[in-house]
Amino acid sequence: MAAEKVLVLCATGKVGRNVCQALAEAGFAVYGTTRTSPEKLRQQGVTPIVCDYTKAEDLDRALAESGATKLFVITDYFGAAGRKVAREVQQGRQAFEAARRAWVQHLIFMSVADAECFDDKTEHIKAKVQLETELRASGLTYSILRPCAFFENLDDASNWNPLKRGVVKFLSDQPIKYCSTYDIGRAAAILFQNPQEWAGRSLDVISWQGDLAALARALEAVSGEKVRHALAMPIWLRRLLLNDLHHMFLYFERDKGPKGEPEAFRTVVPDALSAEDWFRFHNRYANGEPIVSA
Ligand SMILES: NC(=O)c1ccc[n+]([C@@H]2O[C@H](COP(=O)([O-])OP(=O)(O)OC[C@H]3O[C@@H](n4cnc5c(N)ncnc54)[C@H](OP(=O)(O)O)[C@@H]3O)[C@@H](O)[C@H]2O)c1
């Protein structure tokens, strides 16, 4: 039987790349959108569709060209939406409308865990709440994945936090709930394979909880080298320079959100990645050196 076709939007990003990998491993024929990097996707075994997901006509063409009956929707607040809530809502809505025009059988939207619980200053999460509401009313067959903080933030050179040998840094040193973008993809595969069970439902993607010291211990265990930990910047500077993210962290730190627990996610993805697992899976520092030598 031919593999079922899935189209992943924003396939070259931190989420998209690993979602494509997990879906391909689960046996789907994976198509991914990119504006400029088809070769990157090809090397990963993903069929590239050159497409700007912010343009309705590109989305229509991507769905027609791929023949995908399943669609994984990622919206990009910081880049594509230019940090504008209304623009991210418009971009997400356009993807839902394109899915309807193409008779997509199952759409998964990547939102954020407890999106409705963040305070009014947490701008970058507001569009997710609105898009979840619109999706529920859309008539589409949908599911929603709601991830917490990505482990990938621990190696994010484009946001001034490259992972370096011997040190792990983040914007909070408090206990926080994490997940890997790979597990977002593994969960998506399960949801796409079981539409009757998952249609109209959401799932929090949470696989581990710990503070920065525990993250350093995890990297130490995996690398076999001493690892120190440090805040990427003092909290007063986080408040001053990254006020939006600062307020997201207040929900994590002060309110101990999100409410979901790793044990619940493990009932769906039993081997969801812990911090140690993620360092092994990621297996590279920002300079390309492996964490675990072969
Ligand atoms: N970081 C976290 O802990 C966390 C947790 C939960 C949810 N999230 C959510 O994750 C999402 C970000 O995903 P990500 O980390 O995968 O993003 P990313 O790595 O920045 O990737 C963004 C993607 O968008 C495309 N893109 C960028 N600028 C664009 C533009 N101007 N026009 C059209 N396409 C553009 C890029 O594709 P091409 O350049 O190849 O076209 C790229 O694949 C956000 O919505 C955020 O709210 C993040």
Which residue pairs, CB below 8 angstroms and at least 24 apart, start in 226-233?
Answer: 226/166, 227/166, 227/167, 227/168, 228/166, 228/167, 228/168, 229/167, 229/168, 229/169, 229/173, 230/167, 230/169, 231/169, 231/170, 231/171, 231/172, 231/173, 232/160, 232/161, 232/169, 232/170, 232/171, 233/171
If one residue of 9, 10, 183 were mutated to test the ligand 1 pocket, choosing by the most ligand atoms within 8 A of its CB, it would be: 10
Span 28-55, average pLDDT: 98
34 lines ligand 1 (CB under 6 A): yes
For the chain, percent of residues with pLDDT exceeding 70? 100
**Cα 12 to ligand 1 centre (Å):** 8
pTM of the full structure: 0.98
Question: Ligand 1 in contact with 209 (CB < 6 A)?
Answer: no
Q: Tell me how far the alpha carbon of residue 130 lies from the centroid of ligand 1, in angstroms.
A: 18
Mean pLDDT value across residues 105-123: 98
pLDDT of 22 reads: 98
Reported as a single tens digit per residue, the pLDDT across 211-244 is 999 999 999 999 999 999 999 999 999 999 999 9
Say whether pLDDT at 294 is over 90. Answer: no
User: Using one digit for the tens of pLDDT, what is the confidence trace for 255-285?
Assistant: 999 999 999 999 999 999 999 999 999 999 9
d(C-alpha 17, C-alpha 97), whole Å: 24
CA of residue 2 to ligand 1 center, whole Å:
30
Mutate to test the pocket of ligand 1, among 41, 42, 74, 76 (most ligand atoms within 8 A of CB): 76
The residue-averaged pLDDT of 64-68 equals 98
79 ligand 1 Cβ < 6 A: yes
Write the pLDDT tens digit of every residue in 166-214.
Answer: 999 999 999 999 999 999 999 999 999 999 999 999 999 999 999 999 9
